[in-house]
Amino acid sequence: MTWLMHFAYATALCLPVSAETWTFKPECQGDDCVKEPPRAADAPTKHISETGGWGFSYGPLPTREQGAFPNDDMMTEAIQGQWGLGGRDDLAIIARMGAKMVRLYGNDPRFDGKKFLDYANRWGLKVVAGISDYPYEHGPGKCWKNDLNCYEAIRESYSATLENKSFVAHGKYHPALDTLVLTNEPDLKFFGVPGRNYMKAVLSAFDGVLAAEKAKGLDVTSPDNIKFTAAFSYQVCPKCNHILELRSLGCCIDCANTCGTLGQVGKTQEDGGMRCPRVRKPFHADDCPGLPMIVDLHKAMEDPSSVGYSFQTEGWEQAFANRWIHSFNGFVGADALDQQFIQKYSKLPFNTNKPVDKMIKVFMGEYGDPNLARNPDLLKVDLEKARKLVEDKTNAFVGFNFFQYQVAYWKPCEDSAGWDRWEGEAWDNPMGKPVPRGCNERLYGTFSLGDIQVSKTGGINYDSHNVYPIQCVKPIFRGKPEAIAAAYGGSAPNTAICEAGWEATPKQYCVASRGDIDPLGAGLGWVCDHLGQMGHDCTEGLPAACADDIYTKSDWAFSMYFELKKGEADAASICDFNGAGVVTALPGRLDCMAVKTLASTTSTAAAPTTTADPGRPKNSSGLADKLWWFLAAAALVLGIIIFVRSRTGEPNDSRSSRTVQRASDTHQEFEMTTSTLRA
């Protein structure tokens, strides 16, 4: 008995007098941790037509698959994991690269755009929004395939936009909104409708948006409201109705074997036609791409009946005079752009004899030279020239959007597998490797997608089956983002982690998906409950900057749980939370990532003090604390029993059996608790 008593006493002494516990601190702290936007969401702005600017065409669908995507509206909250703080933060990347605006395409009137517009305005980015093809194809009358009277389809669509998308509040447009593109490249979409003039679609769409504005109580004539435009292509358009009016500007048509089908236009210049001579001017300065459609538009506005249309909205003439800005998409270098378009634009009839500030301004919805798309050094020089054209106050050219932000994986590419190989092989020398067959348009992308996921979309079109991973971005090849940023006066993002990928074994974090709120709320509730069972409050150590948003609260709680549990299973299953969590190496809010630290060091009365290894602690979950206290209590109880028995000499009766049984019951209860928590 004596040795048992000494053993129990020694065991009690050797148990910890203070258990090891974890506390949590942010992975990153201080002003350099998260770059907050510099402006308020409602800060006032000026039109690009007044300030000038350069930016990006932005339509990065979150997919590597070719073909149709459920929805191309980039403003929606379902896509905020791409553009917003806490996700990939594309708008911040664009702004830091020196851009002043961002040009969008799709527009689904069902989905609110306030968060996107607020965040863009906080970064000082002007938004050129669009109307998608959907109402033209599927709206009332299906005007695209019929008579091209799109008034009702666009009135209905834009009314829903004004009602649901937060474009307007308190009788004013959102300060981030600059221009609405009524239709993209109508000269290519609508020109082939037999017996119809493509300008009828443009005029009727303009009439439709004005009618929607008037019903909303807006002043359609006010120059303080957003601008309107139609983004024409950069084609020469020899069949445009008024192209002969450009003959006086030295324009010619390179018609070769088709000249005979063009009537007067196809004749030689000596005979009053526009056929190009054999010897052309440098940069083909005698071309006039984009200009014929602009002339056609003005002629149609002067006499709408000439294209078979009659306006329904009062004040449309003044609205056109006060609020129209021309635009086009051109894949051309700055030198050719200047000589083919800009120098001639100021000489068009509606601009002649006017000072520049009274001319109708013009910008490029898409800009990019295919010959420079994979040559960063020459691209930088060209973009610097384009920027100088914008800054030159002697012309009416006020801006351009580089085409484009991300590789358009959804567009056709005959050899997708070959493209993936090419990206890796051409990283340092894109000019030295032939581009895979049919994949040339992918070269326009500034960034490609890496293998590290940063977030997820919400359910596209409210469909929980349409959830897509959002991957990190890296340069399509070395130096391209740096070239653009240098020309824009900004700085390119650090993409080293994305470039290296998971193969480099970067640190793993568990973040909340910036998708739908409902599954996120359920995931947060589950993890807070389980953290409580592990002895932790899910708001323990929560920084104030992370306390007011469900996404950042979830970031903190998810990362707490992940820190305590990692190593017990694979990271993805620990961080799943029924689809609400994402394992990443690139958390958008490092300041809301909880990192565990040892709160107290275990010490004993008999053993020398040792420093715990914070990477592999004894108690990874708090269960160990309970186990130590249980063993301590059991040892003390055993010691007391032995001591009493040694003093009284009582035999081993039923009372001692009941004591042992109660200890066994306690042990069983603890095992059940442990099993429940692990589950």
Tens-place pLDDT, residues 274-288: 999 999 999 899 999
10 pLDDT above the threshold of 70: no
Decide if 659 is inside a domain: no
The answer to whether residue 39 is domain-embedded is no
Instruction: Please state the separation of Cα 6 from the chain's center in Å.
Output: 68
What per-residue string of b and e applies to 444-482 under the rule 16 or more CB within 10 Å gives b? bbbbbbbebbbbbbbbbeeeeeebbbbbbbbbbbebbbb
Do 328 and 209 lie in a common domain?
yes
The chain-wide mean pLDDT, for the chain, equals: 87
Last residue of a domain, one of 465, 496, 527: 496
pLDDT at 641: 54
Same structural domain, 479 and 606: no
Same domain flag for 390 and 266: no
Please report whether residue 623 resides in a domain: yes
User: Does residue 359 share a domain with residue 231?
Assistant: yes
Residue 9, pLDDT above cutoff 50: no
Q: Is the pLDDT of residue 426 over 80?
A: yes
212-227 as b/e: b if 16+ CB within 10 A: bbbeeebebbbeebbb
The pLDDT tens digits of the residues spanning 53-83 come to 999 999 999 999 999 899 999 999 999 999 9
- Examine the fold and report which residue of 431, 462, 496 is the final residue of a domain before the chain moves on: 496
- How far apart CA 53 and CA 320 sit, in angstroms, is 22
The number of domains in the chain is 4
What stretch of H or E contains 90?
A: helix 90-96
Given a cut of 60, whether residue 17 has pLDDT beyond it is no
pLDDT score of 404 more than 80:
yes
Domain containing 518 equals 22-33+507-598
Is the per-residue pLDDT at 156 higher than 90? Answer: yes
Residues 225 and 144 in one domain: yes
Looking at the domain assignment, is residue 320 inside a domain? yes
Beta bridge partners of 173: 168
Pair 227, 168 in one domain? yes
Rounded to an integer, the average pLDDT of 536-554 is: 95
In a domain, 663, yes or no: no
Question: Do 406 and 381 reside in the same domain of the chain?
Answer: yes
Indicate if the pLDDT at residue 189 is higher than 80.
yes
469: phi then psi, degrees, rounded to nearest 5: -70, 145
Do 530 and 415 have their domain in common? no
- CA separation for the pair 7, 538 (Å, rounded): 40
Based on the fold, state whether residues 549 and 639 are members of the same structural domain. Answer: no
Single residue among 598, 624, 639 that ends a domain in this structure? 598
**Which pLDDT score, from 0 to 100, does residue 669 have?**
32
Determine, yes or no, domain membership for 238: yes
Q: Are residues 409 and 556 in the same domain?
A: no
Q: How confident is the model at residue 606 (pLDDT cuts 50, 70, 90)?
A: very low
Residue 448 has pLDDT above 60, yes or no: yes
Q: At what angle do helices 517-533 and 654-678 cross, to 10 degrees?
A: 150
Statement to judge: residues 436 and 576 lie in one domain: no
* Residue 262 pLDDT exceeds 50: yes
- Structural domain contains residue 298: yes
> What confidence tier does 200 reach under pLDDT thresholds 50, 70, 90?
very high
pLDDT band at 145 (very low <50, low <70, confident <90, very high): confident
Which of 23-32, 215-224, 308-317, 404-413 has the weakest average pLDDT? Answer: 23-32
| pLDDT for residue 633 | 55
Say what the pLDDT of residue 648 is: 47
Q: Considering the domain boundaries, does residue 671 fall inside one?
A: no
| pLDDT higher than 90, residue 195 | no
280 with 295, same domain: the answer is: no
What's the confidence (pLDDT) of residue 639? 53
Model confidence band, residue 193 (pLDDT cutoffs 50, 70, 90): confident
